[in-house]
Structure 1
Amino acid sequence: MKIERSSEWKEGFEERLENRQAWDNWTLYKMCYEVEKAKLIKDFNGLQAPNFLPELKPYPHQLEAAQTVIERMNGKAILADEVGLGKTIQAGLILKEYLIRGLVKKALILVPASLINQWIEELNRKFHIPVMQYNKKYDMSYCDIVIASMDMAKRSPHKENIYNQDYDLIIIDEAHKLKNPKTKNYEFVQNLKKKFCLLLTATPIQNDVFELFNLISLLKPGHLGNFETFQSVFSASKHNVEEDEFLKELINQVMVRNSRHDTGIEWTNRRVQIIPLEFSDKEKEVYDMISELKHVSPVFSGAFSMITLQKEICSSKHAAFLTLNEMRQKCTKSEEISFTDEIILKLSELDRNTKAEKAYEIIKQTDGEKVIIFTEYRASQSFLQSYLYERGIISVPFNGQFSKSKREWMKQLFKEKAQVLIATESGSEGINLQFCHHVINYDLPWNPMKLEQRIGRVHRLGQEHDVNIYNLAIKHTIEDHILELLNVKIGVFEKVVGELDDILTFKMSI
């Protein structure tokens, strides 16, 4: 095909010259003028993004958070609002603002794999930001806004591909997973080239105050001093820290946190209760025998092994059996094997599960309303599904082994067909279930922030009912100690970060 240079411009020029026609169009000129005028940013203070997003109606606390990060924190911040207050909206506003101002050209968003589609939809639909899912076949130099799962991005060859890019802004969702500086996740983020960085997490402290130190060190190395200085100056220990207004001030320089009560929004109530339970005689006998194992066999003498077994028998015999049988294979002495076999036999003969009975009772009392049960063990999940089915209650499982499409399918089945969703810990992140307002914490975690994440699946923007939380705990077992430690950790969180909404209410009498 022959390509020729167009001569239209010359013909038009000659016609205007010979016939003395107008050289411009006043209407077009005024339109161009208005376009350029609209693009001007007259003042650095205040947000421009809302002017370009007429269909987005952010809440005042979201606008304030975005403005604070840009004007006071120089784009390096932890967005730590309580679960369900719209941290994604805040991050979207900040990204949009920087794009409008020309301060960000390239951005990388790192999220759990299960949240990729949710983030893409939010940025496209609400912020009109074209975002591309990472693909190793693409030339990243030509991809401006990229989203990827953290698990994939930290591995080769993706890691090297991303390292070669100069990103202006990095956004990391569920950033509490970076709490340990010895992990590959932490090392990967630490080595990223970034001008601005947003860490999103409702739970910047999960177990101890040093997790927050590690997150802040990613944003601003040295802001809290080195590890030894931080520990000595603020008298920090693993599960305690002295009240220190200076520490809070330093943290508030890099962290924005709104509680539900700060937003001015009228929230439904949380009705939280601990439900203390008593083992049946047979269950108590098996629990005591398991506790005795540490004196019988060195295989069970490790604190972790014993605590795991004690927690599992408090959940279900099915969960305990798997661990017990695995450890039995390591026994060498006849008396160890004999005692372990006796426990396994008594496990198989158990015909009651106190917790399951209570969970069923609670479900019946809801009169057909939706209920979420959280357990820490897939064996208990399977047992509960069968147990409830035998009693006429339809449930669906939800765990980390499911693909993204299967997770969505389980969520849809729960919404439209089943009364109960039985979830392992993976169900406490990344899904929004405002159509449900009953949560049974069948197993208690060591980490209070996991409880907050669980409850936040239902107690969030859009919830129209009071939320009922039932924390089940077996008295005179390891779960007494778990409750004590949960209260201690909640105290550390509130000293350093701020008030936490009810997740336990009161300690169980021991």
Structure 2
Amino acid sequence: MTLHFAPGDLVRARGREWVALPSPRDGILALRPLSGSENDTVILDPKLELLPVEPARFDLPADAAMTVQAKAALLADAMRLTLRRGAGPFRSATQLAFEPRIYQLVPLLMALRLQVPRLLIADDVGIGKTIEAGLILRELMDRGEVEAFSVLCPPHLVEQWVLELRTRFGIEVVAVTSGTAARLERNLPLAQTLFDAYPHTVVSLDYIKAERRREGFARACPDFVIVDEAHACVGTHKGKQQRFALLSGLAQDPERRIVMLTATPHSGDEEAFARLLSLVDPFFGSMNFEGARYRERLARHFVQRRRIDLISSDWGEDRAFAKHETTEFPYRLSRDHLNFQETVLDYCFGVVSKAGTGQRERRLAFWGTLALMRCVGSSPAAALSALRNRASNESERLEPQIYDEDGDDEDAVDLEPSSNFETNPALLSLVQRAEELVGKHDPKLSALIDALTPLIKKGANPVVFCRYLATAEHVRDGLRKAFPKLIIEAVTGVLTPDERRDRVADMGPVEGEKEVQRILVATDCLSEGINLQQLFDAVVHYDLSWNPTRHQQREGRVDRFGQPAELVHSIMMFSPDSAIDGAVLDVILRKAEEIRKTTGVTVPLPDERGPVTDALMASMMLRRGGDKGQLALDLRLDDGTRAMEARWRDASENEKKSRARFAQNAMKPQEVAPEWEKAQSLLGSPADVKLFIERAMSRFGVPLEPRKSLLLAHVHALDSALKERLSQRNLTGSVRLAMAEPAPSGTALLTRTHPLTATLAEALVEASLDPESLSGLGVGRVGAWPTTAVQRMTRLVLLRIRYKLTIHARKERLLLAEEAALVAIEGNTITATGEPARELLNTPAAADLAPSARERFIDRAKEELPALLEGPLTGFVRSRADELAQDHARLRAAAGSASRVTVEAVTPPDVIGLFVLMPSEV
């Protein structure tokens, strides 16, 4: 006879008891030992077992070991913290290695209220869009609704996604890029695709967008997809068109769940915005913002919050983000440097005047001029590299390089471009002048040192962003001479993404050594992809970026959620003597700042760059005056200036309208917070975790050591068995723990999933359930003591309740859910549960009982336990199942199309502990 076991059933196999988990397929069992953790799960085929797999019961053993009040309270805390399959509507809460902010739960609630979640999350830079998307993913995985997924992102963000999913959400993924795909596909069967073999992937958009890969991916793509930097998938650029073709193909499947992330959804371009919205639903491509039905439907799929929205409202996030102080730092050029810049400019204008009237020839001359002047303004080293670079096939790449566009070739982001001017004696003379300046005093570098000195004295750790590789190396060498006691490194495009990440990580504090201040010199290869807030708290724009959003991206590496400093400084350096700096400030950056102050966001440059180029050239020529000013008028470059200003005005107005239309006010803090607080009360809040660790470490004779805002856990001094378990999770020596985010560099936030919490909790529960395991801990399951907490004899029963959670959706799923509960009973009546019952258990014993009296009280409680299990305790777990079903229904209620959840309690519940409390006068 074949027995069928459902998730939550107890079985006996291989000489021990197990709890059944959701099965990977029919006829196969997934089992977790009753006294072990999720990591001890086994998969077996009952037909292949030597002894039959049978149903089992979990009874309190007659010889259960006795314990004292302090250890009983510790066991109750450990039981709650070991559970990983939460019964409440936030099932993912048990798996998170961080404490999400309340506002970050809004997209999750929106997703749960949709039959097929499709969201566009457009929160500002640094608010936590990765966290918001990860919460949705983790929750749907824990509900059994997502088995496979892909994250699509630009190549420089792949490693960040891999790291975030692993460290914050406990999800292991495979990176699929041009550098890894061939290795991953090697040895796969012909009929198996890479995405069949690896169901959890982070995929480079630039790798997968190619037509031959795009079609294969569309066939094998999982039904849950996250798209980061979604705005980079719409537009006229060839690469953007390929990405849009990929996404629009994926979106055609009405059952595919898609979560798109962008900090700049609109950017003043109505057509691009319409295409982005059409990926959510073709209905939204009409842009019918005046229609009430349109706005009501879109509000279910679109969330957009500015940082100021969270700080100035009831979300209570006034300390979630640092204050930001921006200053400008003008500097003067030396006579030699000024003469060099003017000589180069005159040379360029000479080339422009001879370029003829053809639009292509003239535009190439403009691009060459702007490219060369960017390098000259950056540093003599960058200018020398550009002047020497005579490659003639790069003309089509000049424009995106000039305007700091996110190109397909991320490794070339900081290379000095070629101006493509014809080699002649005048150009060779400029090369000679640049060579002479490279070895002379640099007024710009001196100005940087002057700007950094007061910051360093205040204890700041700055990041200095340069545009070009040669400049970054020049600045790094100069700063090492100026600040010899500081750690100073450079991260540029010559390093691979892994090497960049390692170099930044190596600048962090070394365990046991005094922390040293640091300065990081970086090019824009680091303006996205690696978060720097743990090690750095200031940003210096050594070179002005010509793309306003690039400034925002640079600052967003440091000024973001999780920044421990209360104040972040940013400094923008420029020279009023420089024609190129003045042109960029007037034409681009000042205008962008006006829009930012008006709308609260940074708007990128208009896609059509011709007017921008004309306006920059006109500004430089008019600053030079004389015949150069006349040349600007002759070439009608003032038309470009007027067109540019008109486009900025349009972008500003469109952004204002967008913000007014889509401000996310559908959910209030008071709607979200209670649901999360309820989950915390069942699973343990951060304060509960801290209390457990303090008690456990003290009980093991190794109290935590307070250090300012941190705690040190000296795990090397623990019992050898515990020490070995912790070393397997890479915890050795003295572990630095932070109690709240943002966690300082070199520390880890103490959560229920932290290896120290998980290991100690699992060890305590295992020691109580299996007397032969860690016998030295002395954690028993029964006890009796007098206490001032009760007026009548009260039995406290520590339960582990298992539920069968059925999700009725497109595909019905049966899941295991678990909950730890404390129930206080007087006679046959339940008098307290939850926190009130926990307070009874936590009240210290008033005295010791004589051993004979203690045994008599415990034996009597054991005799009465079967009746309690059949009566009030079974009634309690069934009522809890009804409450949980209502919680699930409340969170999923909205559009009326969401799936339904039923909750069935497995009875009788597991009795983990039985404790008798008597009035203290007994």
TM-score, normalisation: structure 2 = 0.44
- Alignment match of 1:482 (pick from 571, 584, 587): 584
Give, in angstroms, the shift of residue 125 of structure 1.
Answer: 4.7
Is 1:464 aligned with 2:551? no
Are the counterparts in 2 of residues 209 and 492 from structure 1 also a CA contact under 8 Å?
no
Partner of 1:415, secondary structure, is coil
Partner amino acid, structure 2, of 1:164: R
Partner amino acid, structure 2, of 1:323: A
Are the counterparts in 1 of residues 107 and 136 from structure 2 also a CA contact under 8 Å?
no
Taking structure 1 as reference, are residues 165 and 385 closer, same or farther at Cα in structure 2, changes over 3 Å only? Answer: same
Q: What residue is the counterpart of 2:332 in the other structure?
A: 278
- Alignment match of 1:296 (pick from 350, 353, 358): 350
Q: What residue is the counterpart of 1:191 in the other structure?
A: 249
Percent of aligned pairs sharing the same letter: 23
Q: What does 1:162-177 correspond to in 2, within 5 Å?
A: 162-177=217-232
In terms of mean alpha carbon deviation, does 461-470 or 371-380 score higher? Answer: 461-470
Partner of 2:553, secondary structure, is helix
- Alignment match of 1:264 (pick from 305, 310, 316): 316
Give, in angstroms, the shift of residue 155 of structure 1.
Answer: 4.5
Q: What residue is the counterpart of 1:32 in the other structure?
A: none
- Alignment match of 2:370 (pick from 286, 307, 325): 307
Are the counterparts in 1 of residues 368 and 421 from structure 2 also a CA contact under 8 Å?
no
- Alignment match of 1:363 (pick from 419, 442, 452): 452
Give, in angstroms, the shift of residue 129 of structure 1.
Answer: 3.9
Are the counterparts in 2 of residues 268 and 463 from structure 1 also a CA contact under 8 Å?
yes
CA distances 1:172-200 after superposition (whole Å, capped 9, x unpaired): 22334324353133333333365121222
In terms of mean alpha carbon deviation, does 48-57 or 431-440 score higher? Answer: 48-57
Q: What residue is the counterpart of 1:59 in the other structure?
A: 101
Is 1:419 aligned with 2:522? no
Are the counterparts in 2 of residues 224 and 250 from structure 1 also a CA contact under 8 Å?
no
Partner amino acid, structure 2, of 1:104: V
Give, in angstroms, the shift of residue 337 of structure 1.
Answer: 1.8
Partner of 2:277, secondary structure, is helix
Q: What residue is the counterpart of 1:319 in the other structure?
A: 382
Is 1:442 aligned with 2:531? no
Aligned equivalents of 1:400 and 1:377: distance in 2? 9
CA distances 1:75-105 after superposition (whole Å, capped 9, x unpaired): 2222222233222221112123333455434
Partner of 1:279, secondary structure, is coil
Aligned equivalents of 2:492 and 2:97: distance in 1? 35
Aligned equivalents of 2:334 and 2:294: distance in 1? 48
Taking structure 1 as reference, are residues 74 and 492 closer, same or farther at Cα in structure 2, changes over 3 Å only? Answer: farther
Q: What does 1:29-428 correspond to in 2, within 5 Å?
A: 48-53=90-95, 56-71=98-113, 75-134=117-176, 135-137=184-186, 138=188, 139=192, 140-155=195-210, 158-181=213-236, 182-183=238-239, 184-192=242-250, 195-204=256-265, 211-221=272-282, 223-225=284-286, 254-261=301-308, 262=310, 263-265=315-317, 266=319, 267-297=321-351, 298=354, 302-326=365-389, 337-350=424-437, 351-365=440-454, 366-367=456-457, 369-393=460-484, 394-416=487-509, 419-428=518-527
Is 1:431 aligned with 2:530? yes
Are the counterparts in 2 of residues 63 and 90 from structure 1 also a CA contact under 8 Å?
yes
Partner amino acid, structure 1, of 2:549: M
Give, in angstroms, the shift of residue 293 of structure 1.
Answer: 2.3
Aligned equivalents of 1:280 and 1:199: distance in 2? 49
Are the counterparts in 2 of residues 459 and 467 from structure 1 also a CA contact under 8 Å?
yes
Taking structure 1 as reference, are residues 328 and 60 closer, same or farther at Cα in structure 2, changes over 3 Å only? Answer: closer
Taking structure 1 as reference, are residues 27 and 275 closer, same or farther at Cα in structure 2, changes over 3 Å only? Answer: same
List gaps (5 residues or longer) in structure 2.
1-46, 60-84, 177-183, 356-360, 393-419, 510-515, 605-622, 624-922
Aligned equivalents of 1:341 and 1:247: distance in 2? 63
In terms of mean alpha carbon deviation, does 144-153 or 271-280 score higher? Answer: 144-153
Give, in angstroms, the shift of residue 420 of structure 1.
Answer: 1.6
Taking structure 1 as reference, are residues 212 and 361 closer, same or farther at Cα in structure 2, changes over 3 Å only? Answer: farther
Partner of 1:191, secondary structure, is helix
Aligned equivalents of 1:246 and 1:349: distance in 2? 68
Are the counterparts in 2 of residues 414 and 420 from structure 1 also a CA contact under 8 Å?
no
Give, in angstroms, the shift of residue 316 of structure 1.
Answer: 0.6
Partner of 1:202, secondary structure, is coil
Greater share of strand? 2
Aligned equivalents of 1:401 and 1:258: distance in 2? 37
Are the counterparts in 1 of residues 156 and 529 from structure 2 also a CA contact under 8 Å?
yes
Are the counterparts in 1 of residues 95 and 169 from structure 2 also a CA contact under 8 Å?
yes
**Larger Rg, first or second structure (1 or 2):** 2
Give, in angstroms, the shift of residue 422 of structure 1.
Answer: 0.9
Aligned Cα root-mean-square deviation (Å): 3.9
Taking structure 1 as reference, are residues 175 and 423 closer, same or farther at Cα in structure 2, changes over 3 Å only? Answer: farther
TM-score, normalisation: structure 1 = 0.76
Are the counterparts in 2 of residues 328 and 337 from structure 1 also a CA contact under 8 Å?
no
Are the counterparts in 1 of residues 155 and 205 from structure 2 also a CA contact under 8 Å?
yes
**Runs of 4+ in structure 1 displaced over 6 angstroms?**
4-10, 38-41, 244-251
Are the counterparts in 1 of residues 549 and 603 from structure 2 also a CA contact under 8 Å?
no
Partner of 2:435, secondary structure, is helix
CA distances 1:300-346 after superposition (whole Å, capped 9, x unpaired): 952211111222211111112222233598655xxx72322333333
Give, in angstroms, the shift of residue 392 of structure 1.
Answer: 4.2
Are the counterparts in 1 of residues 267 and 603 from structure 2 also a CA contact under 8 Å?
no
CA distances 1:220-245 after superposition (whole Å, capped 9, x unpaired): 346243xxxx7xx99xxxxxxxxx99
Taking structure 1 as reference, are residues 290 and 423 closer, same or farther at Cα in structure 2, changes over 3 Å only? Answer: same
Aligned equivalents of 1:307 and 1:467: distance in 2? 32
Q: What residue is the counterpart of 2:574 in the other structure?
A: 473
CA distances 1:35-85 after superposition (whole Å, capped 9, x unpaired): xxx9989xxxxx533454476521111111221244369522222222332
Taking structure 1 as reference, are residues 490 and 391 closer, same or farther at Cα in structure 2, changes over 3 Å only? Answer: closer
Taking structure 1 as reference, are residues 248 and 370 closer, same or farther at Cα in structure 2, changes over 3 Å only? Answer: farther
Q: What residue is the counterpart of 2:814 in the other structure?
A: none
Aligned equivalents of 2:214 and 2:156: distance in 1? 20
Aligned equivalents of 1:426 and 1:55: distance in 2? 29
